[in-house]
Structure 1
Amino acid sequence: MGRVTGLVGGEQATAEEAAFYDRLRPLVESYGSAAGIRRIAVVGNQPLDPSDERAAVIDSADLVIRVNGFRMDDDEGPAAVGRRVDVVVFNRGVRPTPWFFADYTDRVYLMIEPGRLLWENPKLPEFWPADLGIVTMPNREVILPLGEALGADPRAGGQWATTGTVMLWIATRLFPHATIDATGFSFIDAPDQTSWNHAYGDPSAVGAEHRIDLESALMRGWIDSGRISYHH
């Protein structure tokens, strides 16, 4: 199936959501290609085999978005996930990797905090650079609509999407007419996994707050519809 653009089916944004993304869009655009945002690379943290083609797809995008404790290709190593990042989507529990704060003045950092719906402490991590600002993603316009699309209940049920899926959701709403190349989401092929392997760092358990089977179904719908292209 060929690519499509625009939001899919019942995922149309409300007026309040659209207004939020309209406010955020100029900031994010300023970190992307000066010629405009026509194609976006959205990169998860699944360990991936080397691929010059995949790395080139990522690095040639007009905007590159990565998540939490991401890694990037080293100058001396094989190509796999590229060497660019323009936007970082993260949560308060992030474990910074050697690439997380590199060149941070040339990136925009978007923080999600779904745990604030129930229990999360609003303080910034102690390791956060004093001169680095962040943009907090509102639960009302981001986390709750995504939960509804998943069939989960972030407010009452304490279940919400992983930061990677939130990252992709934000990309589709910020730039609904851009084409999107996604990679590095292990739950697409393994929706029943109970732990994560990361491209950098030790494995960790899939949190009880996540329903990655629902996230897998949602993302497969995006792939099948042509809304995103997925690169293994």
Structure 2
Amino acid sequence: MFQVAERRRAQLRELAASYGRSPDIRSVAVVGNKPMDPSPERARAVDDCDLVVRVNGFRVDDEGDAPTYGRRADVIFFNRALRATPWFFTGYRERLHLLVEPGRLHWEPDSIPSWWPQDLGQVHMDNDDLTIPLSVDMGLDSVAQGLWATTGTMAAWWARTTFPDATLQVVGYSFLDAPEQTRWDHSSGDDCLVGPEHRLALESALFHGWVSDGRTTIWP
């Protein structure tokens, strides 16, 4: 079982690296979806990474925009409750789409929304490789408690554990400074409620704990 899981992770690591600027991934940016003011320095830090990971209904800078969110999107973490933005399906054939399915541990069906492109080619993430070990890191039991991390935290944890020798740029995560929030504001689209299955204070603490080893930079 352990060898099978390790083989899955190695295969996914190789697949993800093939979407980056170089097969040797030494830096990864993971970008959340909070609204941000322009910052050429932050946008450059994102786009200069070997691999750029984005989440759900993400936003990128268009031609002529003030540099804010960066322009690259190599790997997309998303779920079935996706609220697609104008950028999500643009150029989707050139990106790796990783579908997280924590709800499959309890109630979520395995059906795919009919409005997604039939050739999206999403890779379904195994809960044994992602949801459950991440919950253990946060002190949660996803099976017994029905609690798990947000898709954004799953993306960052995956990047950190999949490329353990790479530096990590964390951008656009509102709960790092406001773990008490009960609604999400988004860089594009309407706001929405934070799901009852999430514990943002634990996620915030997890991220801040990563900074001590010098590999992770959190952008305000």
> Same fold by TM-score, threshold 0.5 exceeded?
yes
Which of 197, 217, 221 is the equivalent residue of 2:209? 221
* Residue in structure 2 matched with residue 123 of structure 1 by the alignment: 111
Q: Bigger CA drift: 57-66 or 14-23?
A: 14-23
1:48 aligns with 2:36: yes
Matching of residues 1-232 of structure 1 within 5 Å:
17-34=5-22, 36-232=24-220
Q: How far apart in 1 are the matches of 2:90 and 2:134? A: 30
User: Shift of residue 17 of structure 1?
Assistant: 4.5
Provide the identity percentage.
50
Q: How far apart in 1 are the matches of 2:140 and 2:85? A: 30
3-state secondary structure, aligned to 1:124: coil
Q: How far apart in 2 are the matches of 1:86 and 1:160? A: 25
3-state secondary structure, aligned to 1:22: helix
CA contact under 8 A between 2:17 and 2:23: conserved in structure 1? no
Q: How far apart in 1 are the matches of 2:106 and 2:215? A: 32
Unmatched runs of 5 consecutive residues or more in structure 2: none
Change (3 A) 1:193 1:102: same
User: Shift of residue 127 of structure 1?
Assistant: 1.0
CA contact under 8 A between 1:90 and 1:110: conserved in structure 2? yes
Q: What do residues 51-102 of structure 1 show as CA deviations (whole Å, max 9, x unaligned)?
A: 0000001111111000000001121221101111000000111011000011
3-state secondary structure, aligned to 2:82: coil
User: Shift of residue 133 of structure 1?
Assistant: 0.6
What's the TM-score, normalizing by structure 1?
0.91
User: Shift of residue 18 of structure 1?
Assistant: 3.4
Unmatched runs of 5 consecutive residues or more in structure 1: 1-13
CA contact under 8 A between 1:69 and 1:200: conserved in structure 2? yes
User: Shift of residue 121 of structure 1?
Assistant: 1.3
What's the TM-score, normalizing by structure 2?
0.96
CA contact under 8 A between 1:118 and 1:158: conserved in structure 2? yes
Q: Bigger CA drift: 73-82 or 209-218?
A: 73-82
Superposed CA RMSD: 1.2
